[in-house]
Amino acid sequence: MMRHPIRTAAALFALTPLTAQAQTPAPTAVVRVNQLGYLPTGPKVAVACALDSTPLPRFRVEDARGRVVQAARPTREAGAFGPCVRTWRLDFGAVRAPGRYRVVALGAAGDTLRVASPVVKIGADVYDGAADVLLAYMRQQRSGFNPFFRDSVHKRDGLIVDDSARAGQFVNVSGGWADAADYLQYVTTSANATFVMLMAYRDHDAAFGDAHDARGLAGRNGTPDVLDEARHGLEWLLAMFPSDSLMFNQLGDDRDHAFLDLPTTDSSDYGWGRGKERPVYPCTGRPQGLLRYRNRATGLASTAGKYASAMALGARVFATRDAAFAARLRERAVAAYALGRKHPGVCQTAPGSAPYFYEEDNWVDDMELGAAQLHALTGERRYLTEAMEYARQEPVTPWMGADTARHYQWYPWHNNGHHEVWRAKGATAAERREVAAFYRRGLEAVAKRAENGFRVGIPFIWCSNNLMASLATQAHLYRRMTGDGRFRELEAAALDWLFGANPWGVSMVINLPADGTWARDPHSVVAMQFGPTSQTGGLVDGPVYRSIYQNLRGIALHEPDEYAPFNTGHIVYHDDRGDYSTNEPIMDGTANLTYLLAAMTQETRVSGAVRRR
């Protein structure tokens, strides 16, 4: 993710930042819903938000013709949240017939106040195709051949830096994905993105279609698009780990932000000429940073574990599709995990002239996931034993229950390792119960903070939508693992938040649903030149604490704030290209969401525990 403004902020946009707020009258109250829709037998809760003390004690549900299908009943008041002086939960789960409806909040008896929601869709198919929409953004983010531009980008990657023995050597690492609206590339996020897409296919293959070829161009090729995208990631990971003694972690640095360029015309200068090779940073196990700032790296295991998990799962998934490719992945997975065992600690991303980098402080979760995948791949019990040892060192992902965290301090945002240990054929019943309990403890910590109308208990740090997607995913996995539905409301509320049940009424995924309210002015130079639908499928960062927004460098809104009435509380969100903290599409968050949407696609078709393959 960029985490600082596109190419030196406002001046390069050729626009004058505006401070005036939108002049449309502020609403008294609103009703927010999941704009993507609700499954017939699933939870259905709208959230009413009053910006003053207006009471909304009742609600009803009407069909598309205005006929009442659920008579007026009491709302559940749930206190203040953000700009909402009062909130209420409007449970309409009893409405199960497929169709289009509106949820209408009402004043007290005899009061004429009527606040209607946007259209509410109910149907078994409301999530069909949603996971594939996310892949449109992944394709648009490709380095190497980019199908959006029908051209190859960043063909000269790259030159090794921060390595006295190899500095200045060329290594061919063109490929992978740009991290966000800038063009930096990180193994940290790319390996996790690759793993999650492979996991989504493994568990929910029927959720994905085949409309594109391996290069990302329109046209079937007999391979689900999610596997084409995952393979694109795997091939880059192989290039970034060329030998047992050389593991790379990063491509480019924040000198990328000097010019307002498209990826096809990127003219960044890293010290050897504009538009030339980009720097490639190896994992060194020590603090890194060539310019003003340095990270706090201590080892290789955080990156090595991510490599091992993605490659080991890739070896299994591609075993029957491309045996030679799978064999290569298997060999590299084993080697990566061995490096992580030898060099424990974190391999953080390298900052440049700005103080923003991925401050990942945990690594045992990555090694747990790598070990679990190697157990599944090889059948060797030692890997499962080591996975459990790592799991016990960090049973709960530390942000869960916390008020805040540093940027990407606890990444990935949920630990898939616990689920992968649970589904392992060699796991004992006691081990399965233990890792399921780890998930429960994390969810309980978040639930304690979620006593508000939106049932939100995450800290609103940078990339809060990533946390929201991970919370929903962990709750979903726990429910499928145990049959325990105590966190079903928390799971549904997090998913609903991402698709419009939030104070701003915005779907956080661009152009999903196409007829919904979503970011029309994302922080992206591609969107500036080709329109917002060029970012279709991209999950934006999401709201942040006001204190974070006010203290970031280079933020300036370029248009009146259409959400000004809803930016009066402790968290803010702006649909404005000048706000890189809340409105920038992010590659890893988008990939992270593929699992949850694939699972929702099959929610009504699959019952019982997660299938084991």
Query: Tens digits of per-residue pLDDT, 240-286?
Result: 999 999 999 999 998 987 778 899 998 898 999 998 999 999 999 99
pLDDT at position 2 is 47
More confident residue, 608 or 573: 573
Question: What would the pLDDT profile of 165-188 be if each residue is shown by its tens digit?
Answer: 999 999 999 999 999 999 999 999
Cis amide leading into 398 (omega within 30): no
pLDDT higher than threshold 50 for residue 220: yes
Question: What would the pLDDT profile of 445-504 be if each residue is shown by its tens digit?
Answer: 999 999 999 999 999 999 999 999 999 999 999 999 999 999 999 999 999 999 999 999
Residue 361 buriedness (CB in 10 A; 0-12 / 13-18 / 19+): middle
pLDDT higher than threshold 60 for residue 108: yes
CA distance 136 to 591: 11
Residues 37-122: name the CATH superfamily.
Answer: Immunoglobulins (2.60.40.10)
- DSSP, collapsed to helix, strand or coil, labels residue 124 as coil
CA distance 93 to 244: 55
Question: What would the pLDDT profile of 381-391 be if each residue is shown by its tens digit?
Answer: 999 999 999 99
Confidence class for position 11, pLDDT limits 50, 70, 90? very low
φ, ψ at 572 (rounded to 5°): -135, 150
DSSP readout, 524-589? -HHHHHH-GGGGTTPEE---EEHHHHHHSTT---SS-BTTGGG-SSSEE---STT-TTTS-EEHHH
Options 1.10.357.10, 1.50.10.10, 3.30.70.141, 3.65.10.10; which CATH number does 130-504+587-601 get?
1.50.10.10
Token pair 């192989």 is found at: 238
144 and 239 Cβ atoms separated by less than 8 Å? no
Nearest to 48 by CA among 128, 133, 117: 117
Report in angstroms the alpha-carbon separations of 256 from 26, 265, 266, 308, 452.
40, 12, 8, 29, 41
pLDDT higher than threshold 90 for residue 553: no
Token pair 């919904």 is found at: 516
Average pLDDT for 309-318 = 98
pLDDT at position 25 is 67
pLDDT higher than threshold 50 for residue 7: no
Amino acid, res. 497: W
Q: What is the DSSP letter of 105?
A: E
Domain extents for the chain? 37-122, 130-504+587-601
Q: What is the average pLDDT score of the chain?
A: 93
Q: Are strands 76-81 and 29-32 parallel, antiparallel or unpaired?
A: unpaired
487 and 479 Cβ atoms separated by less than 8 Å? yes
